[in-house]
């Protein structure tokens, strides 16, 4: 069994191709999960619509609670960390994280950043150990392989890794850094580009991205068949 955690972060609620003014990144993530489930219908999928229901932003109360030792937290502190803890639990319980996310102003949408802020947690997903000198951070999500798929959409073009405008896209690099920091290094990416141009350029990009998603599902399915992800006890 491979447990999927499916996140969407677009501010647009619908899916392109189904709903008026729908989201391309939601269409890609939906395509990925549907294709996966067509082959492995018993794999559980947990869904979080971050765009519709963003996690609370980090604030003073959250920081105070997070940096108070667990056994000294009062009821309010536990309550303030409850949502963050739930998001961490979901991530720990997953084997395959599917993220649909648009590029907004050169980076990730705020709801997805709020999710990242919620899941990078001292003592839960990473340990800070000053006795280790210059390398004090120990990732905790290394108990088993987890894979991440980032399915994005951009108004511009040339922003895939290695592209001429890649320096204007901090979405996938930021996710790679943050998830790598907690022990998840296998990140695969597909994106629609040219959304703001429309017309044939966009149509060609959508077709290529759909084909890329299908190929990625097939690759990950065959990897899963040859080296199944061990399920934690």
Ligand X SMILES: Cc1cc2nc3c(=O)[nH]c(=O)nc-3n(C[C@H](O)[C@H](O)[C@H](O)COP(=O)(O)O)c2cc1C
> Binding of ligand X at residue 103 (CB under 6 A)?
yes
Reported as half-sphere exposure (CB side, CA atoms, 13 A), residue 153 has a value of 27
> Binding of ligand X at residue 155 (CB under 6 A)?
yes
Q: How far apart are CA 20 and CA 190, in angstroms?
A: 23
Q: How far apart are CA 20 and CA 24, in angstroms?
A: 11
- Compute how many other C-beta atoms are within 10 angstroms of the C-beta atom of residue 162: 6
Read off the tokens for 124. Answer: 């839960």
Candidates 19-27, 34-42, 74-82, 137-145 — which segment interacts with ligand X by CB under 6 A? 19-27
Candidates 82-90, 91-99, 152-160, 209-217 — which segment interacts with ligand X by CB under 6 A? 152-160
> Binding of ligand X at residue 195 (CB under 6 A)?
yes
Give, in degrees to the nearest 5, the angle at Cα 233 between 92 and 188: 40
How far apart are CB 154 and ligand X at their closest, in Å?
4
Instruction: Lay out the site mask for ligand X across 120-139 (x = CB under 6 A, - = otherwise).
Output: --------------------
Coil, strand or helix at 20: coil
> Binding of ligand X at residue 191 (CB under 6 A)?
no
How far apart are CB 153 and ligand X at their closest, in Å?
3
Chain mean position to CA 5: 9
Q: How far apart are CA 219 and CA 163, in angstroms?
A: 23
> Binding of ligand X at residue 102 (CB under 6 A)?
yes
Beta strand residue intervals within the chain, DSSP E: 4-8, 45-49, 96-102, 126-128, 137-139, 147-153, 186-192
Which of 149, 153, 178, 224 is the binder for ligand X (CB under 6 A)? Answer: 153
> Binding of ligand X at residue 2 (CB under 6 A)?
no
Which of 57, 82, 106, 137 is the binder for ligand X (CB under 6 A)? Answer: 106
Closer residue to ligand X (CB): 179 or 209: 209
Contact 43, 37 (CB under 8 A): yes
What are the residues binding ligand X (CB under 6 A)? Answer: 10, 12, 23-26, 102-106, 153-156, 195-196
């Amino acid at each position: 069994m491979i447990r999927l955690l499916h996140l969407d972060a677009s501010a647009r609620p619908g899916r392109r191709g189904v709903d008026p003014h729908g989201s391309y990144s939601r269409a890609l993530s939906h395509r990925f999960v549907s294709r996966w489930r067509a082959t492995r219908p018993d794999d559980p999928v947990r869904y979080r619509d971050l765009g519709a229901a963003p996690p609370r932003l980090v604030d003073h109360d959250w920081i105070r609670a997070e940096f108070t030792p667990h056994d000294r937290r009062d009821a309010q502190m536990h309550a303030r960390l409850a949502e963050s803890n739930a998001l961490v639990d979901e991530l720990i319980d997953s084997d395959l994280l599917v993220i649909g996310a648009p590029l907004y102003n050169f980076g990730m949408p705020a709801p997805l950043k709020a999710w990242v802020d919620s899941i990078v947690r001292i003592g839960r997903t990473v340990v800070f150990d000053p006795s280790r000198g210059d390398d004090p951070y120990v990732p905790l999500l290394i108990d088993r392989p987890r894979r991440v798929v980032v399915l994005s959409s951009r108004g511009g073009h040339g922003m895939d890794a290695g592209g001429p405008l890649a320096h204007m896209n901090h979405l996938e690099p930021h996710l790679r850094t943050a998830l790598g920091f907690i022990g998840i290094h296998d990140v695969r990416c597909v994106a629609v580009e040219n959304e703001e141009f429309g017309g044939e350029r966009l149509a060609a990009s959508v077709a290529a991205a759909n084909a890329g998603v299908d190929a990625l599902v097939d690759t990950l399915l065959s990897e899963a068949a040859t080296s199944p992800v061990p399920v934690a006890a």
